Every structure is written in structure tokens, then in C-alpha cells.
Amino acid sequence: MTVSRIRTEIDFSADGKQVGWAHLPHSVHESAYGVIAIPLAVIRNGEGPTILLMAGNHGDEYEGQVALAKLIRRLEPGQIRGRVIILPAANFPAAMAGKRTSPIDQGNLNRTFPGDPRGTPTWMLSHWIETVLMEMADIVVDLHSGGSSLDYIPICMTRRFEDAAVTEACVAAVQAFGARYAVLMDLIGEDRTTFAAATRTRNRIVVGTEMAGKGTVGIEALEIAETGVQRLLQHFGIWQGAPLVAMPTEPPTLLEVKGVEHYVYAPDAGVFESFVDLGARVVAGQPAGQVHFIDDPMRPPALAHFRGAGLVVCKRLPGRVVRGDCVFHLASEV
């Protein structure tokens, strides 16, 4: 595999707390020998597990970015054993723009794995994350929220591996995170382009989240992100000393997101009126909402229906839609 061109002064094998940047070569008209400086922290204390904590995979999902910046300021080597690698704004150009995708190459980081060391910045980033950071980690955590266009009930996500023991460790990890709901993603029909999919060949314990969104920093979602990450440090024995946060006693409800039957798309362009809210339980065939044609008031609205049964975990925010916008997605009990 070709070596990444992203460089950092941080020594991943050194004990102590190092906070700096990874430098992505970006030679442009305004800066001939320029680099994009991506914040990176490594806190290590001797032998032990390595956890990779990542946020800002999508730049407009803020709770994880804030939670990890707080953790960088607070965490000290004496509090841990092993290694904590923190990448708080993974697609840094997108995070600085407050956008899902990079303004440089329009790249959606979570659709570019396994990336390309000779590609544009987003592709270089996913290649570096997979071949350098994920390679070093035993546990990988990717904090998402709904972003600008979606709202989510707080859920954790992990995935099934061919190795049942890894799957079991993943389920234990999402339970430790403290999620009320945990989505177990399947290998079948998997999109190789996501961060979670990149764990496939490496058998890494993977924890993802979807928390609130709306392009804001939600109070509850931020709390879930902060306490969840702390619980993971405690669960994996990385955190030393007295627990900061009580561990959950109830297991999460395991959910699965099925294929197309769990998604509802706008059937036409217009203004979408929802009939249900987040957290609602719906049945197949139930009306989900309707698109209104504001320019033609006598035209009857176009109805959209749920195609499957389940819990409404995700809902689109903006009222204006075009045909093909996802307006809801469901999950159902495993």
C-alpha cells in the first residue's frame, strides 16, 4: 500500500501528552508550499490498549468536535494507561466551513474510504486515517450527529463482524457508552466507502454515534458524547483510578436499519409536512407526510408512506424538499 503524504511531528510511540497538527500537503495558487494543519492529540502512558477518538468526519456535526476538544484540554497521561489518539475535526476543511463536505474537493470523508494517498485532500485524509490511525488502534470511535439537514434520537452504532467475538466486544462497547438504542449494522450489502466499513479487514472494535443534530451543539447530545467517551475509556481499562462517570446498568435496545424499506424519500419538490415526530413507532403503509405545492394551491399534496415498520430515529429538518431527499429513516428491534 502506498505511504501517506500526511506528516506530523507527533511521535505516536512516545509517552506523555502531545497536542499538535497533522500536515496535509496542499500546494495552491495562494500558498505554493502550503499544508493544511489538522488538529491531532496523542496521550500515552506505557503499554495498554489504543483508542482512536474521531469527530468532524462531517464538518457540520458539532457535538463530537466540542466533546473531543474538551477532552484534549482535560486528559493527562497520568490518568491513563495505553494510548488515546484524538482527531477532533477529521475533515478539517469541512469543519472550518461548517459543512458536511469539504469546500476544497466536495469530498464527503465518510464516502471516500479507503481513500487515495495521491488523491485530493479528502481522499488523502481517509487513506491516512485508515492506514495510519486505524492501523494503530484497538478501538475506533467515530462521533456523528445529524448535521444541518437531519435530527436524530441519540443512538450508538456498531457492526457485525464475521468473527463473533469481535461483534460481542462491539456490543459490549456500545452498552458501555450508555446508549439507550444501539444499531447493529450488517456486513451484507456493505458500502466499503465508510469509516465503519474500513474496520472490516482489521477487526477493530468500532463505536459510532448519531446524536441530535440540527447544525447546533445540543445540550443533551454533548452530554451523551462526553460521558459516553469517558465510559469507553473506563470500560477498556484505559482510564486509571476512580470512575468519573457511573457505568450504565441497562443494556441498550438493539436495533437494525434494514435496506430501502426503512427509508422515506420526498416524492416531489415542494414543502414537506411531517405527520410523525422522532421516536414515533410506525407501521408499513402508514402515511409519513405530504409535499405541498405552494405555487399551485389547488393541486393536492403528494403523500409519502412508510414502507416498513419501526422506530423513527431520523428526520429531515428543512421544510423545502426536492424529489429524492430523505425525510425519515427507521430502525427496528433485532
Applying CB under 5 A, the residues found at the interface with Ca ion are 58, 144
Least spacing, CB of residue 36 vs Ca ion, in Å:
21
Question: Which residue, chain included where needed, has cell 429513516?
Answer: 329
In the chain, what is the straight-line distance between the N-terminal and C-terminal CA atoms, in Å? 38
Rg, C-alpha atoms of the chain? 21
Least spacing, CB of residue 110 vs Ca ion, in Å:
6
For Ca ion, give the closer residue by CB, 43 or 212: 212
Least spacing, CB of residue 253 vs Ca ion, in Å:
21
For Ca ion, give the closer residue by CB, 43 or 179: 179
Helices 219-235 and 164-177 pack at an angle, to 10 degrees, of 130
Backbone angles phi, psi at 74, to 5 degrees: -95, -35
d(CA 75, CA 106): 34
Contacts (Cβ under 8 Å, ≥6 apart) of 301:
270, 273, 290, 291, 292, 293
Tell me the DSSP string of 183-216.
EEE-STT--TTSHHHHTTTTT-EEEEEEE--TTS
Least spacing, CB of residue 94 vs Ca ion, in Å:
11
For Ca ion, give the closer residue by CB, 54 or 176: 54
For Ca ion, give the closer residue by CB, 144 or 214: 144
Of 235, 60, 252, nearest in space to 157 by CA: 252
Least spacing, CB of residue 291 vs Ca ion, in Å:
25
Per the structure block, which three cell numbers stand in for 54? 474521531
For Ca ion, give the closer residue by CB, 144 or 235: 144
Residue showing the smallest CB distance to Ca ion in the complex: 144
Least spacing, CB of residue 48 vs Ca ion, in Å:
30
For Ca ion, give the closer residue by CB, 58 or 235: 58
